[in-house]
Every structure is written in structure tokens, then in C-alpha cells.
Amino acid sequence: MGAKDRLQDLVSLAIEAFANHRLVLCGKDRWRIARLGPNGEINSTYATEIISLWGTRLYVGGDIDDCVFAHSDNSDPIAKLRWIGKCEDVGYYVCQKAQIGMTDSGKLTLEGRGRARGPSARVVFAWAAVRRLCELLDLWVAENIG
């Protein structure tokens, strides 16, 4: 399996993992998403907190491995969410921003060898969580403002 196929599989798995998540905390610069049980209780599987850190950094963590994305060209919290969550170039751009944010030179943000080397599950799942948060915020705006 080549790097492209591996990445497509990982992206599909990550998107599926967050497909049923709901917004459980919505702040100015801090959000939580999680699956909800039948009585509204939070299911901790892949429950994730996303925090707009000072400056141009975005933290993603919780029941997934922590990841920090850095060097957005905008310090506005919503703009930073969209910067990562709306980006489709997970294999290069998103991974690069995680490498900068994690200051790890690829130790935590890359997996594989040679041509099969690509973004780690840590990066892809963090991206998918931010992607899902963007979808949920867009839905909230459409229902409450639009």
C-alpha cells in the first residue's frame, strides 16, 4: 500500500470516527465535541477539546493524541479553526503545520518509511476533529442566524 492509499484510508477512518460527534462546549476560543449517549451523557470515545491558543496556534486533544497546529496567518479563533478544518491538503500542508506546532521534526507527526511516509494518525485525527467542529459551527450558524 502506497502513501496515498494509506492516507486516504486514514482520512476516511478519522472522518468516520467523528461523524456522530456533537458540540458539547462552545466558547469564544475553546470548544469540545463528543458523541452523546441516549440520555445526553458524553461518551468519552474520541471526545475532543479544541483550543485556540495565543497567537497563531491551535491545540487539539482529549481522547485522541494531542496535536498543535502552528503558523496560521490569522490569530482570530474561528479563522484558525477554518484554516485547518477546511484544508483538504492533509498529506502536506496540515502535516507541515503540525510539525511546526509540535516542534518534533516529524517524530510524532509522520509515520511510515520511504515513499510510504506520511502524516501520523495523531495529525489526521486532530485534523478530522477540527473539520467536524467547523461543520458543527456552520450548522449552528445556519440554524440560529441564517
| Amino acid type, 3 | A
Per-residue model confidence (pLDDT) at position 51: 98
**Res. 55: pLDDT tops 70:** yes
Is there a contact between 30 and 49 (Cβ–Cβ < 8 Å)? yes
In tens, the pLDDT along 69-80 reads: 999 999 999 999
| Whether pLDDT at 5 is above 90 | no
**pLDDT reading at 146 higher than 70:** no
Res 24 pLDDT > 80: yes
The radius of gyration of the chain's CA atoms, rounded to the nearest angstrom, is 15
Model confidence at 1: pLDDT above 70:
no
pLDDT at 53 over 80: yes
Angstrom distance (rounded) from CA 93 to CA 97: 6
pTM over 0.85: yes
Query: Residue 116 above 80 pLDDT?
Result: no
